Structure 1
Amino acid sequence: MHKIYKYRRIDIRNIESLCEDTLYFSPPSSFNDPFECEPTIESDSSNEDLEKILYKLIYSRTYRESMRILKNANIDEDYKKNVSKEKARNFSNSKINELRYLATDDEYEGGVEVAKNRLLAHEVRREILKWQRKGICCFSTSHKEPLMWSHYADSHRGMCVGYDFKRVPEPQVSRVEYGGDRIIRTSTIWKAIFEKDIDAKKTINDKLFLRKASQWKYEKEYRIFMEYGVQESPLRMLDVTFGMRASGTAMYAVVSALRKRNNPVKFYVVNEVYGKFTLQRKRLDVDDILSSYPRIAQSGYEIFGEVCD
């Protein structure tokens, strides 16, 4: 893999993004697949271990959040840490005591210990989703996948932007795996937290962010992770390919925006392969596009003058 591609609509926001060389990193909750980044937590741990896991997760998250809130406060650094630690301890203990109490409800089948195990596993899942908050930008290895053009490039009216990795530092790009399950076992979480097991951390990360149903395999997806929102692109832009339904004015707008770029961008357009359900691309005649627009509306009188009988 030497290049990856980002399918996009052609609109003001995306033209601005091209001009500014930025990418948008989305929260997983905005994805169109309801299974995205939504793992199932399967308990294979004792209630005692589950409480320790949950305590550690809540403590770490609450401490970080508290320190972030106090970051710009004009108070002693040690005081900030002590306040944050106390808040994290209180919140962690409060949540565990709450779950212990809820588990005594007679409505739960199987007894208190079974109910407690389920409640703890459910709360661990909630914390895992908060623990690994990342913005995601998605790419494909193909610029000629018809379904990608349909789903992500305005039904072939959009564009596909090509990038490579020749930046310093070189960006970290992760491949999405298709199929399998989305189960994270609590014993794996224990290893990641308390034993600092690298393989366990990787398993959690992969199940959270790099696992999709096999039906999505056509996307040939890779991902980059950064903070949520618009970020400067960590990739090098190489080319822009226009869809087979892209209008001349849309192509003109993008070509005009990028043609004086210091690092030149190549322009292509995709066409159907005769008699097949596949696409091919060819170089766009940039001079032809630039000479065709902008147009000036003229009436017949303005073009030809007064016509004599």
Structure 2
Amino acid sequence: MDQPITSFYKYFTINQNLFNSLINNELYFSNPRYFNDPFDSLPRYKLCSDIQKLEKFYLFIQKHINEKIDIIRNLKDFEKKKLDFESLLEVFLKVLFKFDESYYNEIGNYEYKLIEIFTFYNNPEYFKEAFKVNSIELQNKMYADYAFLYIDINKFGVACGSTTQTCPVMWGHYGNNHTGICLKFEFCDDTGNQSICLSKDEKLEIVAVDYNDSPLDIFNLDYDELENLILTIYKTKCSKWAYENEVRLINNSQGLLKINNKSIKQIIFGCKTTPKDRYSILKLISCLGYRIDDLMIAKIQADSYELKIERMTIEDLAGSGVYLEELNVKKPF
């Protein structure tokens, strides 16, 4: 049985966004479509040549989209847009059949996309023609439509962290070339209950990323498995990213979420942070009433390419104009 995930380390650039997060007790949950991995939340899948399996997937999406029929029919200019997409589909299926940018540019927002999906999945002739002309493109479209209906339209947000605090590559990519900081967040209180959210009614899904190069066998899944595929999609990344040891918090909305500042237990300063930046951060958290268990700093080692995390000393603030009484820290520092 897997051990529960109780904490992660999150890297930050020292800038106004970090200051705002600390001042307002907030954590940002991003749209995974904007992450630096183009396959994020869209892991690769096994191609299938079995028309019956593909048709089963087509009918699954048809069932799902038709459950939203009342919403879709009430969208502005539904009938006109449906006719427009019927004409567009005729062109792509009989002339080009590649759902490239010129096709998707016609789908400028979620409402258009819903009507397009409704149109495609309520005419079985489109499926038959698509399979005959280009079955791979059909599969690409159905997978993208599944992701849209189960992930994109729900606007789930993701906050990413790591179980490691010593990887130089992580500090370089996400800690602004080692000039930033890393915060340790603990997700649960002493009783084991999730406590990272300020509101007790808020609960986050916490998952460790699975680094796996095997494509998902989506066309072999039954309806129940397809309904529950979302978390697998969110947590699957290729093995090239394994050095990140990533942990993800998944929220049911994107943007800023109020968090319990008691969940921040440790601050680690990058090895290239300036004494002035270190002092500014410490003074800020002191003024805000944070109680940090450990103030740490990353140090370059003489005999390895890993960083060593050490407890901060007064020497790490030398030249910053430090006045210890302002910092409300434990002594000796």
For 1:102 and 1:256, the matched residues in 2 are separated by: 62
Q: How do 1:1-309 residues align onto structure 2 when only pairs under 5 Å count?
A: 2-41=6-45, 42-43=47-48, 44=50, 46=52, 48-60=55-67, 94-96=119-121, 100-101=125-126, 104=129, 114-115=132-133, 120-130=138-148, 131-133=150-152, 134-167=156-189, 168-170=193-195, 171-188=204-221, 190-192=222-224, 197=225, 201-202=227-228, 204-226=229-251, 227-233=253-259, 236-265=263-292, 266-285=294-313, 289=317, 292-293=320-321
Change (3 A) 1:123 1:294: same
One-letter amino acid of the counterpart of residue 230, structure 1: L
CA deviation profile, 1:233-275 (whole Å, cap 9, x unmatched): 3681111100000012211221111014444013211111222
Change (3 A) 1:66 1:162: farther
3-state SS of the aligned residue for 2:159?
strand
3-state SS of the aligned residue for 1:271?
strand
One-letter amino acid of the counterpart of residue 145, structure 1: C
3-state SS of the aligned residue for 2:205?
coil
CA contact (8 A) 1:36 1:209 kept: yes
For 1:209 and 1:3, the matched residues in 2 are separated by: 19
Change (3 A) 1:222 1:60: farther
Cα deviation, residue 58, structure 1: 2.2
**Greater C-alpha Rg:** 1
CA contact (8 A) 1:28 1:37 kept: yes
Change (3 A) 1:288 1:127: closer
Change (3 A) 1:90 1:280: closer
Q: TM-score, normalised by structure 2?
A: 0.67
Structure 2 stretches lacking a partner, 5+ long: 77-113, 196-203, 324-333
For 1:143 and 1:255, the matched residues in 2 are separated by: 19
CA contact (8 A) 1:175 1:210 kept: yes
Cα deviation, residue 294, structure 1: 7.3
Q: TM-score, normalised by structure 1?
A: 0.72
Change (3 A) 1:155 1:201: same
For 1:183 and 1:117, the matched residues in 2 are separated by: 17
CA contact (8 A) 1:5 1:139 kept: yes
For 1:116 and 1:54, the matched residues in 2 are separated by: 19
Cα deviation, residue 66, structure 1: 7.8
One-letter amino acid of the counterpart of residue 55, structure 1: Q
Mean Cα displacement is larger for which, 12-21 or 179-188?
Answer: 179-188
For 1:150 and 1:209, the matched residues in 2 are separated by: 24
Cα deviation, residue 175, structure 1: 0.5
For 1:91 and 1:174, the matched residues in 2 are separated by: 33
For 2:115 and 2:241, the matched residues in 1 are separated by: 43
Question: How big is the alpha-carbon RMSD for the aligned residues of Structure 1 and Structure 2?
Answer: 3.5
Q: Counterpart of 1:78?
A: none
CA contact (8 A) 2:62 2:122 kept: no
CA deviation profile, 1:69-120 (whole Å, cap 9, x unmatched): 9xxxxxxxxxxxxxxxxxxx9876632356724854xxxxxxx753486565
